[in-house]
Amino acid sequence: MAPVSTERDLRLDLFRGLALWLIFLDHIPSNAVNWITIRNYGFSDATEIFVFISGYTAAFVYGRAMQQHGFIVASARVLKRAWQIYVAHVFLLAIYLAEIAYVSSSFDNPLYTEEMGVLNFLKNPDVTILQALLLKFKPVNMDVLPLYILLLLWFPPMLWLLLRAPSLALITSASVYAFMWLFEWNLPAYPSGTWLFNPFAWQLLFVFGAWCALGGAENLSRWVHSPAMVGLAITYLLFAFAIAMTWYFPRLAVYVPKWVGDAIYPIDKTNLDVLRIMHFLALAIITVAFVPRDWPALKSWIFWPAIVCGQHSLETFCLGVFLSFAGHFVFTEVSNRVLTQIVVSFAGIAIMVAVAALISWYRQAERRGGGPRPPAAKPGYAGGEL
């Protein structure tokens, strides 16, 4: 099966860009602005969108590479990408260590003696840093990139299978997901516990994204556009919304029948709960139904900021993590008034857009300038980048 379309689907960039903004907002603790993010109104959050679209674009880009240049070359490119992400992760880790070292030397409120124990790992950096390099020690909010690395490592054989027997590939992926639930597979973390984003679970969404990119979406399209499906999706989103409201207004919790609560809780993010997948799928169905691929607005300036961020997702994601650290730092050191929170949030997004635009411009200039770069290097970028 061939990648069906040659022109890049701007909706992917748009929603990945938006997801990156939401991830940034969600990563700033105690941020008033993260009221607007989708995780407050249902079961799934921006992570699902990010992983799905990343799978979709990975298949789009590397699928073509695999068809044109074979398994080895395409795999090498995937691994190179995984390495880049690893380097980015280590870079973020260095910034995180700097922040934590600062806090530990400047903050000593007796109310929080227990909480300050989290800084104890600074006392034996030999172990901690090694565990971090092994991706076992992952500070708060630094779980997505290690997941992404593993998903890419697992991707070449999956892509190979997807190009030959897409249904079989999807079944394989779903089986891994099922076995994960059955045998409680997960990877160990340091100092205890397991990965916050269980790779055995989240691979399903990544592979499903890839499957959609390689023709699956075309096959599903009649289904997805049927009024019954759209109606079902809307119903489910409303149900999730109603449940989410009971988290903020405990008085409403009385109206949730006990058997419903027993059936749905806890909604497991680590293992990508089925309720979360369904919520994401419902969102995707609504999106596909109401935002057509050739929607003219996608090319207008209104959506350009999100699209440009989505087109440079790794850089934007890393910058977002750094900016969320910085934003939290502003809250603790300068002011945590709501106005500050709003300013910090929007300034962060503006910086993300500016940097993404800069990268975009630089890439174009580099390509126009010709230089020593042979055109053969292009296919990796032709569909935009991962």
- CB–CB of 373/366 below 8 Å? yes
Tokens representing 38?
Answer: 């989708």
Q: Which is nearer to other proteins, 249 or 301 (CB)?
A: 249
**Does 103 participate in binding other proteins (rule CB under 8 A)?**
yes
Angle, CA 381 vertex, CA 377 and CA 386 arms, to 5°: 130
114 binds other proteins (CB under 8 A): yes
For other proteins, the closer of residues 118 and 347 by Cβ is 118
x/- map, 130-169, other proteins, by CB under 8 A: ---------xxx----------------------------
Sole binder of other proteins in the list 35, 83, 91, 112 (CB under 8 A): 112
Joined tokens for residue 196: 């916050």
Q: Please name the residues in contact with 243: beta carbons below 8 A apart, sequence gap of 6 or more.
A: 43, 256, 264
Residue 123 lies near other proteins (rule: CB under 8 A):
no
Spatial CB neighbours of 46, under 8 Å, sequence gap ≥ 6: 18, 19, 20, 22, 23, 26, 37, 38, 39
Q: Which residue has the tokens 């992917």?
A: 12
The three-point CA angle 111-112-117 to 5° equals 150
Q: How far is CA 7 from the centre of its chain?
A: 23
Q: Is 345 in the site for other proteins (CB under 8 A)?
A: no
- Does position 336 bind other proteins by CB under 8 A? yes
Contact status: 263 vs other proteins (CB under 8 A): no
Q: What does residue 16 show for φ and ψ, rounded to 5 degrees?
A: -70, -40
Q: Is 261 in the site for other proteins (CB under 8 A)?
A: yes
- 343 lies in the binding site for other proteins (CB under 8 A): no
Choose between 15 and 331: whose C-beta lies nearer to other proteins: 331
244 is a site residue for other proteins (CB under 8 A): no
Instruction: Kindly list the residues in this chain that would bind other proteins in the complex (CB under 8 A).
Output: 29-30, 99-100, 103, 106-119, 139-141, 189, 191-194, 196, 250-251, 253-254, 258, 261-262, 265-266, 269-270, 324-325, 328, 331-332, 335-337
